[in-house]
Amino acid sequence: MSVEVRPVRGVRELREFVALPYRLHANEARWVPPLRLERYLHLGRRTNPFFRHGEAEYFLARRGGRVVGRISAHIDYRFSEFHGNRWGLFGFFECVDDQSVASALFDAAEGWLRARGRDRIVGPMDFTLNDEGGVLVEGFDLDPLVRQPWHPPFYRRLFEELGFEKAMDLLSWELRIEERDKVRPLIWRLAERLEERHGVRIRPMSRRSLWRDLQAFGEIYNEAWRRNWGFVPYDEHNLRQLWFDLQLTFDREWFMLAEARDGEPVGVAITIPDINRVLARMRGRLLPFGFVHYLRRRSLCDQVRIGFLGVKPAWQHTGVAAGLYAAHYRASERTGIGRGEASWILETNSSMNRALEALGARVVKRWRVYERPLG
């Protein structure tokens, strides 16, 4: 049968768009279903601050009336302005193992982007790299941590047979507390001297002051990450959304700020307990019993994801990063959580990759962002 691809129109089709991966991956042990409510809020044009500086179209592919694939085409005007490009983006890709379905989906997405003057298609990004990004190409046998996507191995083939090429790889580095002896001694020395030599103190964030601390995070992020591939600056609306998202995962042990003597925020780390262990039991729903699993999250979360760790450029040679690393090991000892992953780390981020090697970490997962010119 032929494949028909059309834009999503109306509530019923949006439900089909959201529901597709739950059906496609129902028997995949590694796939963790996200909360459906969160997916609707993320896709909502009124609820996601992405739509203050971007636009998007959602597409469904059908064969014989049955949904067999989905994709988004979107434009982040702030991203294009910052980087001086005319890229079009795609995301939320899900598909049966059929090259004709994938081809039809990309034909629709590329047509929408081309009509809006875009000269390249890049992704997947759901909607930015601060959300979920990339196609899993290594680490299929490992459980994904919170906000890490899992994809079946054939997705890579679907992309590459359509002529997509690698734009960037995103890495996940594994750290284990029992391998502390692999950490280079220089890390500990720099951390020990940090406050005495440079007047920098590392303190935990608090839930009461989380909004103020996230404003400090935004200041650090916009300085420390601005040279990174795929960077988009945080504004107040994005920070409000981040504040809202972190309410469910906040843990004082793992949210840290480094401050100079005068109170200037100079470094930050936001590490998130892996609530995927909880989400796997909730099966995408809060009710009727999903909330019970959430209340037990502290007993279920036995690993963490280091999502953000950065230092302002002017302070990057003072040992602030070493202090944040050492603080993570102390938190691990206090909580008994012995494993974590730092992701996503750009393959071109040589300073961060060298630092993780110095900590004795190893790459365990890899996601690939693809690109193709729009002729």
Place of tokens 């067999």: 68
Percent of the chain at pLDDT exceeding 70: 95
Q: Where are the domains of the chain?
A: 3-170, 174-365
d(Cα 323, Cα 200) in Å, to the nearest integer?
9
DSSP-assigned letter for residue 358 = H
> How far apart (Å, rounded) are the C-alpha atoms in residues 233 and 60?
31
Distance from C-alpha of 63 to C-alpha of 364, rounded to nearest angstrom: 37
- Show the DSSP H helices in 60-98 as ranges: 77-83
Task: Report the distance separating Cα 129 and Cα 221, nearest Å.
Answer: 14
The H or E element containing residue 73 is strand 66-76
Say if residue 292's pLDDT is above 70: no
The strand pairing partners of 63, in sequence order, are 3, 66
Q: pLDDT-based confidence at 293, cuts 50/70/90?
A: very low
3-state secondary structure of 243: helix
Q: How many CB atoms lie within 10 A of CB 292?
A: 11
What is the reported pTM? 0.93
CB 249 within 8 A of CB 242: no
Model pLDDT for residues 63-91, shown as the tens digit of each residue: 999 999 999 999 999 999 999 999 999 99
Asked if the domains 3-170 and 174-365 are classified in one and the same CATH topology, the answer is: yes
The predicted model gives 163-183 an average pLDDT of 95
Q: How far apart are CA 359 and CA 336, in angstroms?
A: 19
Contact call for residues 90 and 73 (beta carbons, < 8 A): yes
Mean pLDDT of 16-41: 94
Instruction: Note the pLDDT of residue 297.
Output: 60
Summarize the confidence of residues 145-157 as an average pLDDT: 95
Query: pLDDT tens-digit profile of 294-316?
Result: 555 665 678 999 999 999 999 99
Identify the band that residue 375 occupies on the pLDDT scale cut at 50, 70 and 90.
confident
**Stretch 198-214: mean pLDDT:** 96
Does position 222 have pLDDT exceeding 50, yes or no?
yes
Determine the 3-state secondary structure of 74 from DSSP.
strand
Which percentage of the chain shows pLDDT scores above 90?
87
Looking at the domain 3-170, which fold is it? Aminopeptidase (3.40.630)
Q: What is the dihedral of CA 174, 179, 184, 186, to 10 degrees?
A: 100
User: Higher model confidence: residue 222 or residue 290?
Assistant: 222
CB 3 within 8 A of CB 68: yes
- Label residue 287 by pLDDT band (50, 70, 90): very low
- DSSP letters for 246-305: HTTT--TTTEEEEE-TT--EEEEEEEEE-THHHHHHHTT--TTTHHHHHHTHHHH--EEE
- The span from the CA of 354 to the CA of 167, in Å, is 21
* Torsion from C-alpha of 115, 116, 121, 122, nearest 10 degrees: -150
Query: Distance (Å, rounded) from C-alpha 221 to C-alpha 311?
Result: 8
174-365 homologous superfamily: Gcn5-related N-acetyltransferase (GNAT) (3.40.630.30)
Residue 210: enclosing H or E segment and its boundaries?
helix 210-224
